Amino acid sequence: MKLKRVALITPPYHSGVVESAGTWLNLGFVYIAGALREAGYEVDYYDAMSLWHQWPEIRQRIEDFAPEVVATTAFTPSIVDGVELLRLAKEINPRMVTVIGNVHATFCYDELLSAKDNPIDFVVRGEGEITLPTLLDCLNDNDDPSKVAGIAFRVNNKIQVTADAPFIADLDALPTAWDLVEWPIYSYRPKKNSTLAIVSSSRGCKQNCSFCSQQLFWKRSWRARSPENFVAELEHLNQQYGVNVAMLADEIPTLDRNRWENILDLLIERQTGVKLLLETRVDDILRDEDIMDKYRQAGIEHIYVGVEAGSQKNLNLFKKGTKVEQSKRAIDIINNANIVSETSFVLGMPDDTPESIAAIVALAIHYNPDMAFFLAIAPWPYADLYPTLKKYVAVTDYRKYNLVEPVLKPEAMTLKELEKELGHAAKTFFMHKFQNLDQLSPWKQEFMTQVFKLLVNNSYLAKQMREMAMEGETMPIAIKNALQKPTAEQIPNQVIPPIP
């Protein structure tokens, strides 16, 4: 069977981690689709997750396209649905070649390939733009896949793992398939009439965070696109597809100060029409205090910095490499630049108690970000911290490893008690934030009012937010009004799960 058509399909997993804030495209598939087309393959870019398609619709799309290859991608909470997707592909056509990649598969290929009734033919470990076309070319040539770097597969009841594929050196040269994206479904809901892209200016992470997967996936390396190449892509997305908001998928886009400042200067000069949302490090914000005016002029409207812990003890355990007081200073710098500030705190550690969580909430209020989210730690089975946490794992269903549902049981709390405290933490923080809405700039007040509407109408925090608004005697009228029955504009046809 000649392999010609490849379906790239996201699994239909929904947890509510980011979905009520917007609809986010799969950037990895944009690159892989571009690489496959350049290699001569016909590609269906199918974001079943963002389309909110269910299994009958997914089956129909696969049958209509009739691919010889189905490839999917899965982070840990979506791995169950990713495997189910490939099982469906095999039901449709047992000869279909099935492939899975991304972080979970890269590290847990043994568990996946050893599973009973495993529907996976090949696991792509690491970057897929070179590995997947090379693998398909190999299969079309009836050659030995063990010659292909960066994969794992099962042969004669044994799992074979090939050498790691080298990281792609020239990110500027990677082809993309932006034309395959179904743009009308992607939006950033706090901004009306927005078209949202996910973009990348660099790949990698050089941090040591013990709870995270990224520094492991990238082997503590970092590579970057040139400023000119990246900014030209933003211009293209705006002019060709009407993109006016983009989120940087980079772990640390600001690592190289000179390169980052060049990007800011180009954004200011060219006025791309695209507002940017990004995540970066506390250290880099402290470093860039003198150029925060450039951040704002360049169209950066929203910055997330990962505080993660409220105590120096846990910061050290998480290997964040920062001090508690530095986080407060970084958030102040972002706020002073009139940029939306966001952070998160990882809770549910073995020694957490209601009292320790209350102390972290108080600290979050003191830090004064515009948004703070209190997340349940997810013990990724491949993270450096996992051996320390393993004995406290109370839930083994990967679908619940989504930072919203507690899966780790603290010594002094039940999972239900922890879940209640997480909800109470959000309620307490946002009550303080919305009671003091008048302290924000006018555009931030408008933005935060839109955020409240999303929280109260579309999120797992809806109950807490409604209670908060009803209990808060000094709530602004805009917040009180948001408790009214949501309009059709506020709630699209599909069900929207929670933020953050």
Q: How many residues does the chain have?
A: 500
Residues 218 and 237: beta-carbon distance below 8 Å = no
**Cα–Cα distance list, 386 to 62, 225, 322, 393, 424 (Å):** 37, 33, 21, 9, 27
The predicted-structure confidence for 193-217, as pLDDT tens digits, reads as follows: 999 999 999 987 766 654 555 656 6
d(CA 277, CA 92): 40
What are the strands, taking DSSP E only, across 356-409? Answer: 371-376
**If DSSP states are collapsed to H, E and C, what string results for 467-488?**
HHHHHCCCCCHHHHHCCCCCCC
Domains along the chain with CATH numbers: 5-161 (3.40.50.2300)
pLDDT in the model for residue 483? 64
pLDDT by 10-residue block (mean), the chain, 500 residues: 95 78 92 97 96 96 98 92 98 97 90 93 94 97 96 93 94 97 93 94 72 60 91 98 96 93 97 96 94 97 79 53 76 96 91 92 92 88 81 92 91 94 91 90 90 74 72 68 53 36
pLDDT in the model for residue 152? 96
pLDDT in the model for residue 346? 86
Nearest to 311 by CA among 255, 355, 254, 266: 355
**CA 16, chain centre distance (Å):** 11
pLDDT in the model for residue 261? 97
The predicted-structure confidence for 77-133, as pLDDT tens digits, reads as follows: 899 999 999 999 999 999 999 999 998 888 889 999 999 899 999 999 999 999 999
d(CA 242, CA 252): 26
pLDDT in the model for residue 238? 98
Helices (H), 40-195: 48-51, 55-65, 79-92, 103-114, 131-140
pLDDT in the model for residue 385? 77
d(CA 30, CA 10): 12
Q: Tell the residue number behind the tokens 């998928």, with chain if given.
A: 249
Q: Is 352 left (phi over 0), alpha (psi -120 to 50) or beta?
A: beta
